[in-house]
Structure 1
Amino acid sequence: MGERCGAVLRVLVLQAAWALAGGQVRYSVPEEAKAGTVVGRLAQDLGLEAGEAEARRLRLVAQGRRASVEVSGASGALLVSSRLDREELCGKSAPCALRLEVLLERPLRVFHVQLEVTDINDNAPVFPAARKNLSIAELSVPGSRFPLEGASDADIGENAQLSYTLSPSEHFSLDLHRSEEYRESLFLVLTKPLDRETIPVHRLVLTASDGGRPSLTGTMELLISVLDANDNAPQFNQSVYKMQVPENAGLGTLVARVNATDPDLGSNGEVTFSVSNTFPENGIKIFLLNARTGDIHLAGTVDYEEIRSYEIQIEATDKGTPPLSGHCKVVLEVLDVNDNAPEVWVTSLSVPVSEDASVGTVVALLSVSDRDSGANGRVRCWVWPASPFGLEATFAGSYSLVLREALDRERVSEYEVEVRAEDGGAPALRASRGLRVPVSDVNDNAPAFSQAVYTVLARENNAAGAELARLWARDPDEAGNGRVSYSVWEGGVGGGAAAPSWSSGAVGGGWRAASSYVSVDAESGRLWALQPLDYEELQVLQFEVRAVDAGEPPLCGNATVQLFVLDENDNAPALLLPPAGSAAEAGAVAAEASSGPGSGSGTLWAWAAWGAPAGQVVAKIRAVDADSGYNAWLRYELWEPRGKGPFRVGLYSGEVSTARPLDEADGPRQRLLIVVRDHGEPARSATATLSVSLLEAAEAALAAGPGSSLSSSSSSSSSWSGSGSRSASGVELGAGAASAATNVWLVVAICAVSSLFLLALVLYGASRWAPRAAVLSGPGPTTLVCASEVGSWSYSQRHSRSLCVADGAAKSDLMVFSPNFPPPPPGAAAKDTQPEPSALLDTVSAASFVPFSAPPHPPSGFLPFAGGLRSHCLGTLGSQWVLRDNNGAFPSAACGKLMYYGLSD
């Protein structure tokens, strides 16, 4: 026992050195080593520092059968964990080398360790049976040889080198034949003739000793019976038969045929065959021998991967008395066929893989093997589909699944990868192993709106909290990376200066942020109004909505929202009355007027001469509507007197003119009731009362003298009276007025007109030459001018101005969204090309208005403009003007002409 322990220690000392060749570490350990025996300092041999093995999780990868060794987590040493039996692990194979895979995580690396289990003499020789019965004819001549079954030793090398001894006998000896190609053959040799009468039975002991130190022995008793008579034994035509059988041969296949002859006659020459011994022992169940013919058939299955050759001892016995026998050996070599498919194991899998993982990242470690040999056992591996993963061979039979291309979770969130293996046999056999590789998300996608610009239409006077639109931004990321929140953004755009949201109307003397009008729900993207919208205060509101995800760092996207407020007919026409002061200075009777939403009344005074021809304008009624479009397009109707009165009123101009020549039968004074009505739904109206005094021609001329000057100058400043060629309105002379009073009023009128004219020129020049930037961004009321060369009302995004037609009254309803206008139509009169501002306002009639008619179906490519009936010129499209109303947008030549919406300003 002491010598055995010493041998173990010597082996451990001799195997302490290790060799690193191609990434493989080799150790050696004797079998039957006790649990806890240190095989090698694995961590130190792998170049790890003290304590690093445990931190980086140095461990063995279990493969197939249990390796009976383990890695100490604290020291990193390779230890024996359970009993090592070389015979159980490797059988008769030499050397007995176990291939182990050692996994080192953080980072992931794999090492291959080859552990050789050395043999010790722990198995004694064993004979097939404890007793062997032999029958030998007494006529057997000296030198006759009788085969014996040798012993077997599970050990290898010197420990399995057997030697035999026979108990002392003068008749028998042993003959041992050794061959490198075949197993040893043991024979019992007759050295001296037998005499049955002297010794009928010989009892001998056969002892087998192995070459171990100390040597182990096994024994078998030989019981030899001496037979009389039959003196010729059967003889085989060859002592050894070498045959081959494929491992896929079917049951009943003839694998060999033996032949033996006996020169004796009769029963002494009749030979029968029997199997005396097989190696391995289970061969007796696999092969079937025909006792009469000597044919050997396959009765079971053979497997090259389990046993590669069989040895069968066949005995031929005659029927003599006593029977004699002859012996031969049949060696059957099993031929390999490709009957084993490759096997694929996943030894380590690191999932999920981050979508920003770099190319070359190791995803899994795999091992591939094939039990066949030669070309049948050579395996070729690949991965399917071919991208984005690939295989890299790390060692014989070991592969790494690595990333070959960049990943995108939004395109493919999970991969079903199949590792396929194919051997080199014919036909080739295949195997595969599926892997599920999920991809984890990173925040690499910013929220994106479906539209860069959203156009939202909202009617004015909407309720606070009313939903205006729903915005939605898509973020293909998952979880928090794809959870989007919305907000109205007041910050800058891109990398430039801050660009706050803006609105087209001035509120309270300055601009207001969009967040004071609208808000967006952070989760749903619902856009809703914070307060009722007023078209007269705000026509267009443009702002940006920002969508931000919850990733780290967060990513964002923007969308522009253009909110157009649609006009409602919520303002009634308002009458514009002349200033009371000017009328009093002219000597007129004080005018009384009042107006309000939905209705209005006022008393105006005008003169007309008896005998005035039909069509002479005696006054003009002016009104304004704060609404826009059709809601502000006014028409004038004469309610009283009805029928055939001496006066009529222009439907759209508001000019009161004579319907027929005036005579004395019409009376000294006419009272006219005029209703001003817009085109809204429902329509709103206001009323005006005009008192017309009928005078003699001389009195009318005398009254018209200063009055004309007043009206002419007033038209240049306040833009409310008629033209100078027509009769003035707003004063009534007393029947007994003196000429001196007339001269005084004439002087006052001339001075007033001159002053007002100079003031109008100053205001016009200031508005004309004011810097555009101040017009765009400055607070305060805007100014409307008749800027077109053809006399059309215009509204430009670069110029937003209003013309004050009376104190506190301003209009900007007529819009053309382009500062460019077509040339004046051919044949236009000179007075239509460059009219004076007052003349333009006073001479517009219903005939100059071209109504906009919508086509039955708007052309494609234009966004329908929902809302009340309205018409707006959007600008030019090529050579065509584009008109938009509630039916859509379409080219129209009407935009090139004067657009008059019935406004009296």
Structure 2
Amino acid sequence: MNGVAVRSRGVTTGQVLSLLLLFGVSDWVSAAIRYAIPEEARRGSAVGNVVADLALDLGRLPGRRLRVVSGGNKKYFGVDLTSGALLVNERIDREELCGALSPCSLSFEIVVENPLELYSGTVEIQDINDNDPVFPSSQARLEISESVAAGARFPLESAQDPDVGINSLQTYQLSANPNFALDVQTRVDGSKYAELVLEKELDREEQRELNLVLTALDGGSPPRSAHVQIHIDVVDANDNAPVFNQSTYKASVRENTPSGTLVARISAYDLDDGPNGDIVYSFSSHTPAKVRELFALDSATGELRVKGQLDYEETKLYEIYLQAKDKGAVPGVAHCKVLVEVVDVNDNAPEVTVTSVYSPVPEDAAPGTVVALLSVTDLDSHDNGLVNCFISPGIPFMLSSSLKNYYTLKTEGALDREKAAEYNITITAKDSGSPPLSAVKHILVQVSDVNDNAPRSSQDSYDVYVLENNMPGIPILNVSATDPDLGRNAHLSYTLLQGDTTFGHLFSINRENGTLYVLTSLDHEDQVEFNMMVQVQDGGFPPLATNVSVSVFVTDLNDNAPTVLYPHPNTTATYTDVVAPGTPAGHMVTKVVAVDADAGYNAWISYTLLQATDPSLFSVGLHNGEIFTARQLREDDAPEHTLVILLKDHGEPVLSTSATISISVAEMVKEVLTDLTDVAPANDPRRHVTFYLILAVILVSAAFFITMLSVGIFKCYKWRQSRELYNSSRSTTYRTPGPFHHIDAVRGGFTPPSFYHQVYLTTDSRQSDLLCKKPFTSSPLGSRQGTIRNGEPGLYHQIVGTASRLPTPAEVM
């Protein structure tokens, strides 16, 4: 490990001490390292390679944001990310930083991220011999009576050296003389002071004064020194010197004690009388100036009182040297020592330092995720310096400590940004003093959004009613949805799920706002209901979606007039119903069959007799279209009757149509048939019906031998044909099957209703057949639009199907 050289015991360069203390005490405080460098190291000097000592990957340092964190305003150290070396950034003066304290050290923390780790470190600042010893003054004067006996001691002013250790003041030297020797003493704090020891009694008559040189030396190499001139006046002796009643006094005082508080009272006595017995108390000459600033001594009473502000954290024990001197011509002097112990008071509140904060925190962060690193300090000692930290309850965070005075703020429970987007966490540090002092630190932790909420629709399904024949492109619905997430996670898009490919041509939805449009004009008669699914999807990753069911109902308009099914209005053939002469009143002659493609009231049809050859002879049912004889037929009634029936629906506006009915009054059906054959076309290309019938018999005989597979295919075809007939809502046009013309009186309602008359006519009346009273099977199609049921008056709709012909006689049989 590289470092800056230090001077020590004659060696000009040395190796920096580095100690790596590894202990797994935390998931984020991984290790503690210690270095040592000399003070006044130049800027840019390497302290040590922290990357190598902490076993970090040098290549990953730029991405991990390694940095050095230290207290105070000055940043004494930095890290070179290219080499991993810890460098000196500022001038370091040990005496300025620590004064007389030894050892002197600077603490720092190294923070790296991804993952977040904290390493603590300490750099010991080693002293170099850069200060000379200094005496308070360049000259000192002593008055010593010639009567002083050998062995008397005279304290001398002490020199001060701000260096410590071996570089501090180590000894004193006295210039050669015949009377005095020098005795160097050591205080309890290790500092040195000198006393003159009289070895040979003075003789004023022989020598009135002496000039000595006192030299103070430190332990540096080479040593530094300071000199003071000592001038000694030899005076006549004062026989008795003051005497203290004890040589050492002890006292204790609380720090922050108010100025003027009595600390101790010293007492001395002198057996002399008069001025030689009057005692004056004072500080000894070698008492440090700092002590004189903190304490005051009453020269007359010997009371030692507090003068300045005492601080336990700065100095715990003061050693004060006092003297008592009489007022004789040659004053006698006595010395004593007062030991003042400073008692700690809880006068320092804890200090909380936030080393690093990881914010924002994802709302899906697992419990135990580190959010912040904290350090706590308290300058007091013992219980006054014992600090506990806690946070306010009711939040999903916790504090844990795995190293003294260091805490981690972690998540304790699940976070939910939708409930709380940020937390202003209050951290309280409280010491154990009496009364306790506390400090508060606020940390703002923001919670970042995660796509954990699917879109929510205001309702699960929508029913929309649209009038048929609508304008294309109109909006019919706005699908409303919300997402409690944030940003892209809450950006919603709307799409139609293509369950039915035709819906894409009929409907579209605005992707941004969920407005549903109908692209074409809808027809109630074509399709009444459309069911589709709208998917609402957010923009998160992965995206979340919700499906909403939409049902569009096409409401009916009266846009279809009644359609006459029987008699068919668009045929060249004349449909004639036959009634026998003398038919009584109330006999149903025939029936007008009609349908209306609309629904509800728009499809209710009413029948009225608009025009008749004899209006008194026939009447029509208002709601069913059945034509009855209004009275008994007479012989003088006309043989041919033409009725015009008006059919109206109940819509708004009312739509109508008319049907023409021809009724013949005849005795014999054969006569009617003979007359009817006259209306057949003269040149019908299908007159060779016999040939076709023979050919059909041959083909049917051949089909008898077709395999069972062909039979199955044929039946499948018949089934499909019946389904088409069932699903169709359009009217069936009646036409002549094959070469026949036929009059279908099924709807005529001849009694009984379960029978009908069919008259099959060929172009040759001699080949015509009459089929009578065949059982009538009602159409399997039923009525899609509610034929007279449950007492609905006059509503008679019968959907025959999409086939354009009636069954042939063979099919009926």
Q: Same fold (TM over 0.5)?
A: yes
Q: Which moved more, 1:274-283 or 1:530-539?
A: 274-283
**347, 351, 358: which one aligns with 2:355:** 347
Q: Name the CA distance, whole Å, in 2 between partners of 1:225 and 1:732.
A: 181
| Cα distance change, pair 647–286 in 1 and its aligned pair in 2 (3 A) | farther
State which of 624, 632, 655 in structure 1 corresponds to 2:626: 655
Q: Is the 8 A contact 2:169 2:216 kept in 1?
A: no
> Mapping of 1:814-825 within 5 angstroms?
none
Task: Show CA shifts across 1:126-166 (max 9, x none).
Answer: 22333334444555444433333322222222332522223
Tell me what 1:15 maps to: 17
Q: Name the CA shift for 1:131/1:466 in 2 (closer, same or farther; >3 Å).
A: same
Choose which of 129, 132, 141 in structure 2 pairs with 1:124: 132
CA distance in 1, matches of 2:182, 2:135: 16
Q: Is residue 655 of structure 2 the alignment partner of residue 684 of structure 1?
A: yes
Per the alignment, do residues 159 and 316 of structure 1 end up closer, same or farther by CA in structure 2, a change over 3 Å counting?
Answer: same
Cα distance change of structure 1 residues 257 and 649 upon mapping to structure 2, 3 Å threshold: farther
- Corresponding position: 1:702 with 2:643: no
In the alignment, which of 273, 281, 291 is matched to residue 281 of structure 2?
Answer: 273
Matched with 1:303 is 311
Conserved 8 A contact 1:11-1:30 = no
Aligned to 1:313: 321
Relative to structure 1, the CA distance from residue 105 to residue 311 in structure 2 (aligned partners, 3 Å threshold; closer, same or farther) is same
Q: Aligned pair in 2 of structure 1 residues 474, 438: CA closer, same or farther (>3 Å)?
A: same
> Following superposition of structure 1 onto structure 2, how do residues 488-499 of structure 1 map, counting pairs within 5 Å?
488-490=496-498
> Residue 618 of structure 1 is aligned with which of 589, 593, 597?
589
| Equivalent in 551, 565, 569 of residue 562 of structure 1 | 551
Corresponding position of 1:635: 606
**Is structure 2 residue 791 aligned with structure 1 residue 850?**
yes
Distance change (3 Å), C-alpha of 1:670 and 1:379: same
SS of alignment partner, residue 314 of structure 2: coil
* Kept after mapping to 1: 8 A contact 2:242/2:325: yes
Q: Which SS does the other structure have where 1:12 is aligned? A: coil
Structure 1 residues 658 and 297, CA gap change in structure 2 (3 angstroms): farther
The one-letter code of the counterpart of 2:161 is D
Does the CA contact (< 8 Å) of 2:156 and 2:285 recur in 1?
no
Q: Tell me, what secondary structure is at the counterpart of 1:249?
A: coil
Instruction: Report SS of the residue matched to 1:837.
Output: coil
1:401-416 equivalence runs, <5 A: 401-405=409-413, 407-416=415-424
Picking from 15, 38, 46, the partner of 2:54 is: 46
What do the CA deviations read for 1:688-722 (whole angstroms, capped 9, x no partner)? Answer: 455666x5xxx4x535x998xx9xxxxxxxxxxxx
Does residue 177 in structure 1 map to residue 150 in structure 2?
A: no
Cα deviation code 1:208-234 (max 9, x no counterpart): 222333222222333444555754443
1:837 pairs with 2:808: no
Deviation of 1:442 (Å): 4.1
CA change 1:414–1:136 in 2 (3 A) is: same
Instruction: Please list the CA deviations of residues 846-890 of structure 1 after superposition, one character each: whole Å capped at 9, or x if unmatched.
Output: 996435xxxxxxxxxxxxxxxxxxxxxxxxxxxxxxxxxxxxxxx
Letter of the 1:837 partner, please give it: S
User: Aligned partners of 2:423, 2:722: CA distance in 1, in Å?
Assistant: 65
Determine the structure 1 residue equivalent to 2:504.
515
1:204 aligns to 2:130 (yes or no): no
Asked if 1:103 is matched to 2:111, the reply is yes
Cα distance in 2 for partners of 1:188, 1:218 equals: 17
Kept after mapping to 1: 8 A contact 2:155/2:285: no
- The alpha carbon displacement at 1:466 in A equals 0.8
C-alpha distance in 1, partners of 2:143/2:324?
13
Distance 2:130 2:566 in 1: 132
CA positional deviation for 1:654: 2.2
Counterparts of 1:482 and 1:839 in 2: how far apart (Å)?
A: 55
Cα 1:429–1:162 shift into 2, 3 Å: same
Deviations 1:281-331 (A, max 9, x none): 334333333344333333432222223233333343444555544433322
> AA paired with 2:512?
E
Q: Cα distance, 1:530 vs. partner?
A: 0.6
Q: Is the 8 A contact 2:476 2:517 kept in 1?
A: yes
Deviation at 1:486, TM superposition (A): 1.8
Structure 2: how far apart are the matches of 1:354 and 1:292?
A: 75
Match of 1:13, SS? coil
Deviations 1:521-551 (A, max 9, x none): 1111110011111111111111222233333
In structure 2, list runs of 5 or more residues that go unmatched.
Answer: 25-30, 680-689, 694-711, 736-752, 755-774, 800-813
C-alpha distance in 2 between matches for 1:770 and 1:543: 36
Higher strand proportion: 2
Structure 1 residues 846 and 384, CA, compared in 2 at 3 Å: closer, same or farther?
Answer: closer
Does 2:182 correspond to 1:256?
no
Q: Can you list the C-alpha shifts for 1:416-435, whole angstroms capped at 9, x where unaligned? A: 33444333333333334332
> Which amino acid counterpart does residue 469 of structure 1 have in structure 2?
L
Of residues 149, 157, 173 in structure 1, which corresponds to 2:157? 149
Q: Deviations over 1:72-119 (max 9, x none)?
A: 332222333443332223322222233332234444333333322222
Q: Are the structure 2 counterparts of residues 195 and 808 from structure 1 closer, same or farther at C-alpha, using a change threshold of 3 Å?
A: farther
Q: CA deviation at 1:627?
A: 0.7
* Secondary structure in 1 matching 2:566: coil
Q: Which runs of 5+ in 1 are unaligned?
A: 491-499, 502-511, 585-589, 592-603, 711-730, 738-747, 752-768, 785-800, 810-829, 852-898
Do the aligned partners of 1:243 and 1:255 also contact (CA within 8 Å) in 2? yes
- Classify the secondary structure of the residue corresponding to 1:375: helix
Between the aligned partners of 2:254 and 2:483, the Cα distance in structure 1 is: 64
Q: Secondary structure at the match of 2:489?
A: helix
Task: Give CA deviations for 1:741-763 in whole Å, capped at 9, x if unaligned.
Answer: xxxxxxx9xx9xxxxxxxxxxxx
Matched with 1:213 is: 221
- Go from structure 1 to structure 2 and tell me whether the alpha carbon gap of 1:8 and 1:550 turns closer, same or farther (over 3 Å shift): farther
2:39 & 2:782 partners in 1: Cα distance? 120
Distance verdict in 2 for CA 1:582–1:557, change over 3 Å: closer
The number of residues matched between the two structures is: 722
1:421 aligned residue (408, 419, 429): 429
Residues in 1 aligned to 2:491 and 2:138: alpha-carbon distance in whole angstroms: 84
Q: Is the 8 A contact 1:129 1:220 kept in 2?
A: yes
* One-letter code aligned to 1:335: V
Residue 630 of structure 1 aligns to a residue whose secondary structure is: helix
Match of residue 254, structure 2, among 207, 230, 246? 246
Give % identity: 41
2:510 paired with 1:476: no
- The 2-side partners of 1:183 and 1:10 are apart by 26
**Cα gap change, 1:341/1:521 in structure 2, threshold over 3 Å: closer, same or farther?**
same
Q: Report the Cα distance in structure 2 between the residues aligned to 1:299 and 1:80, rounded to whole angstroms.
A: 40
Please name the residue that 1:371 is paired with: 379
Quote the residue 1:282 is aligned against.
290
Residue identity matched to 2:607? Y
Kindly indicate whether residue 112 of structure 2 is the aligned counterpart of residue 112 of structure 1.
Answer: no
Amino acid at match of 1:433: K
Q: Are the counterparts in 1 of residues 20 and 32 from structure 2 also a CA contact under 8 Å?
A: no
1:12 and 1:29 in contact (8 A); partners too = no
Q: 1:756 — aligned with what?
A: none
Q: Which residue of 2 aligns with 1:532?
A: 521
1:277–1:775 Cα change, 3 Å: farther
Q: Do structure 1's residue 806 and structure 2's residue 732 form an aligned pair?
A: yes
- CA, structure 1 residues 624+8, in 2 after alignment: closer, same or farther (shift >3 Å)? farther
Q: 1:605 to 1:116 in 2, by over 3 A?
A: same
Residues 315 and 408 of structure 1: is their aligned pair in 2 closer, same or farther, counting only changes over 3 Å?
same
C-alpha distance in 1 between matches for 2:646 and 2:466: 31
Q: Hey, what's the Cα distance between the residues in 2 that align with 1:275 and 1:732? A: 163
Is the alpha carbon distance of 1:65 and 1:220 closer, same or farther for their aligned partners in structure 2, counting shifts above 3 Å? farther
- Label 1:14 to 1:837 Cα distance change in 2 as closer, same or farther (>3 A): closer
